[in-house]
């Protein structure tokens, strides 16, 4: 290889002398890119946002995103869509989910047409909300599911008994009556605070409270790489390969170029330049 530094003038000389060959290479690359696009049918992608109410940590949001794109959710969406030739396990590569700011899970669906992509994204979002609600409700058995309601009924009954006892107590006539009414009111306040904490900790009203923020937008363009992108990429790639090939040929040319090389090869003395 020659040690000459490749200058911009060398590249310019290649463009001037070999522009036809470079143009042919670009056209050939465009045809190759266009042919490659025919092997990959166009696809369309759209997203549906699901809002998770309540307080969520980052790791919990990541877990919910994994659940949204899991086979447990996607397979149910495939069954609900009832597309010909598409069953459970066929849509795993066409669905993705990620956690966004504001306790939002963005579910993306990719399909061959804009309508199918929109339906896929919306259906997966609905199945995700249903599945998450069922998970929150399945954390306890049947007896436990009835526990909070039964507890609320017992609290209401206790409040009525407290009111009856407070009315039957001697109002303000004796010290014992005043103390009894005070203790009953404290008990009523404690029961109300306990019920408030129970409502705040109820997973059915906190963690499972998810809302689909409207239907997915109908995609207006193809998902990358599009046919145009592949065609342009092929043209640029072949053009650069042709230029690099000419530069490599020029650097590897062992012809005599400088005065010193010529005089050394002739064994003569340089008279002038």
Written as six digits, the tokens of 58 are: 């980052």
Radius of gyration of the chain (CA): 38
Omega prior to 225 cis, within 30 of 0:
yes
Helix (H, G, I), strand (E, B) or coil at 95: strand
* Residue 154 to residue 32: CA distance in whole angstroms: 77
* Residue 238 to residue 163: CA distance in whole angstroms: 89
- Look at residue 145 in the predicted model and tell me its pLDDT: 47
- Provide the pairing of β-strand 44-52 with 104-111: antiparallel
3-state SS string for 176-202: HHHHHHHHHHHHHHHHHHHHHHHHHHC
Burial of 150 from C-beta contacts in 10 A (0-12 / 13-18 / 19+): exposed
Q: Assess if CATH 3.40.50 describes domain 44-139+207-212.
A: no
- Look at residue 141 in the predicted model and tell me its pLDDT: 47
């040690």: which residue's tokens?
Answer: 3
Interval 93-125: pLDDT, tens: 899 999 988 889 999 999 989 999 999 999 999
Q: Pick out the chain residues at pLDDT < 50.
A: 1-4, 140-145, 203-206
- Look at residue 65 in the predicted model and tell me its pLDDT: 93
Break the chain into its structural domains and give their ranges.
1-40+225-250, 44-139+207-212, 142-201
Q: Is the pTM of this model over 0.85?
A: no
- Look at residue 73 in the predicted model and tell me its pLDDT: 93
- Look at residue 171 in the predicted model and tell me its pLDDT: 57
- Look at residue 156 in the predicted model and tell me its pLDDT: 73
- Look at residue 187 in the predicted model and tell me its pLDDT: 77
């Amino acid at each position: 290889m020659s040690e000459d530094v490749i200058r911009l003038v060398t590249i310019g000389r290649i463009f001037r002398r070999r522009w036809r060959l470079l143009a042919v290479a670009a056209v050939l690359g465009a045809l190759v890119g266009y042919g490659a696009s025919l092997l990959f049918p166009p696809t369309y992608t759209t997203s549906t946002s699901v809002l998770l109410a309540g307080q969520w940590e980052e790791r919990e949001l990541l877990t919910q995103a994994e659940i949204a794109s899991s086979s447990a959710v996607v397979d149910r969406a495939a069954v609900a869509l009832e597309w010909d030739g598409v069953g459970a396990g066929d849509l795993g590569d066409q669905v993705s989910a990620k956690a966004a700011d504001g306790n939002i899970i963005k579910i993306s669906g990719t399909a061959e047409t804009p309508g199918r992509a929109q339906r896929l994204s919306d259906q997966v979002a609905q199945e995700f909300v249903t599945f998450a609600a069922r998970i929150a409700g399945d954390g306890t058995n049947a007896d436990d599911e009835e526990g909070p309601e039964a507890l609320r009924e017992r609290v209401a009954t206790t409040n009525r008994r407290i009111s009856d006892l407070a009315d039957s107590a001697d109002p303000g006539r004796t010290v014992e009556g005043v103390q009894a009414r005070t203790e009953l009111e404290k008990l009523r306040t404690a029961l109300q605070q306990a019920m408030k904490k129970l409502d705040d900790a109820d997973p059915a009203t906190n963690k499972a409270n998810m809302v689909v923020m409207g239907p997915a937008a109908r995609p207006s363009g193809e998902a990358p790489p599009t046919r145009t992108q592949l065609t342009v990429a092929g043209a640029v790639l072949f053009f650069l390969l042709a230029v690099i090939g000419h530069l490599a040929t020029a650097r590897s040319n062992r012809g005599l170029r400088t005065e010193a090389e010529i005089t050394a090869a002739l064994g003569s003395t340089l008279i002038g330049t």
